[in-house]
């Protein structure tokens, strides 16, 4: 019986080749491209926010597409806290060669109060994401824009401490 390949669009720390080699040793890079109609955001607690995406007309998010084996997807489910922290959606991406495969993407849920607020990531998480962007040849402007959105939200609604 032939196993269908499962494609996953990575836009955050799973762009990092070193991290993915540890998490999903049998995953292979399939291609890269853009997820159109979305924007990149950081959500979570202060100093502990993680990448997510949300629908945005005219937006686009660079993605690295991974070909996953079933064990890889199970490992990613664990690392992404699926289904509690991240949900899975099937979306179409536009690859560099113009093809538009359907891929699975993890999107942060809005079910947990600590995960719904725009915020700033830890320095180490941000560096992991930036390394992945640089290795894939993506413009860091997408990360800068996501950070600016978080900073603006924090200035508008500063966190309340008890």
For the annotated binding site, the residues are 125
DSSP 54-114: EEEEEEEEEEEEEEE-HHHHHHHHHHTTTTTTEEEEEEE-EETTS---EEEEEEE-SSSGG
Instruction: Count the neighbouring beta carbons within 10 Å of the beta carbon of residue 137.
Output: 9
Q: Which of 80, 89, 131, 151 is catalytic?
A: 80
Q: What three-state secondary structure class fits 149? A: helix
Is 131 marked active-site?
A: no
Q: Which residues are annotated as a binding site for substrate?
A: 125
2-to-5, 50, 69 alpha-carbon distances in Å? 9, 35, 12
36-to-65, 89, 141 alpha-carbon distances in Å? 14, 14, 16
Write phi, then psi, for 140 (nearest 5 degrees): -65, -10
Residues tagged active-site = 80
């Amino acid at each position: 019986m032939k196993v269908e390949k499962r494609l996953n669009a990575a836009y955050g720390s799973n762009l990092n080749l070193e991290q993915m080699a540890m998490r999903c040793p049998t995953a292979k890079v399939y291609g890269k491209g853009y997820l159109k109609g979305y924007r990149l955001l950081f959500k979570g607690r202060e100093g502990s926010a993680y990448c997510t995406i949300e629908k945005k007309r005219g937006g686009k998010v660079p993605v690295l597409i991974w070909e996953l084996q079933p064990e890889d997807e199970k490992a990613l489910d664990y690392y992404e806290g699926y289904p509690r922290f991240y949900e899975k959606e099937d979306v179409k991406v536009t690859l560099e060669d113009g093809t538009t495969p359907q891929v699975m993407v993890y999107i942060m849920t809005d079910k947990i109060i600590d995960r719904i607020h725009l915020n700033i990531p830890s320095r180490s998480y941000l560096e992991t994401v930036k390394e992945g962007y640089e290795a894939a040849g993506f413009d860091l402007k997408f990360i800068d824009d996501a950070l600016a959105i978080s900073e603006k939200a924090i200035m508008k609604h500063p966190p309340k401490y008890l």
